[in-house]
């Protein structure tokens, strides 16, 4: 894109209609309790404890996507 066509974005988000506050997405991650083995979903600011047994050891579950490393 040539420099003449570039326009500096404005600081006000009202012109676009979509602001960051409109699309607040809470990341929820699923963990496995180390004591009772149940699945626990926790948000960013949640207390790190199992709601079933109050166990405080939680293991993050493995990803289901394929991870491949290249060895040299």
Output the pLDDT for position 32: 95
Average pLDDT, the chain: 80
pTM: 0.54
CA–CA gap between residue 39 and residue 57 (Å, rounded): 12
pLDDT tens-digit map of 38-51: 999 999 888 999 99
> Hey, what domains does the chain have and what are their CATH numbers?
25-61 (2.20.28.30)
Instruction: Return the pLDDT at 62.
Output: 87
Give the separation between CA 31 and CA 40, rounded to whole angstroms. 5
């Amino acid at each position: 894109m040539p420099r003449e066509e570039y326009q500096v974005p404005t600081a006000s988000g009202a012109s676009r209609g979509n602001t960051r506050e409109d699309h607040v997405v809470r990341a929820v991650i699923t963990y496995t309790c180390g004591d009772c083995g149940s699945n626990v979903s926790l948000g960013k600011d949640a207390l790190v404890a199992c709601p079933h047994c109050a166990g405080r050891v939680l293991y993050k579950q493995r990803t289901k996507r394929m991870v491949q490393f290249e060895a040299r």
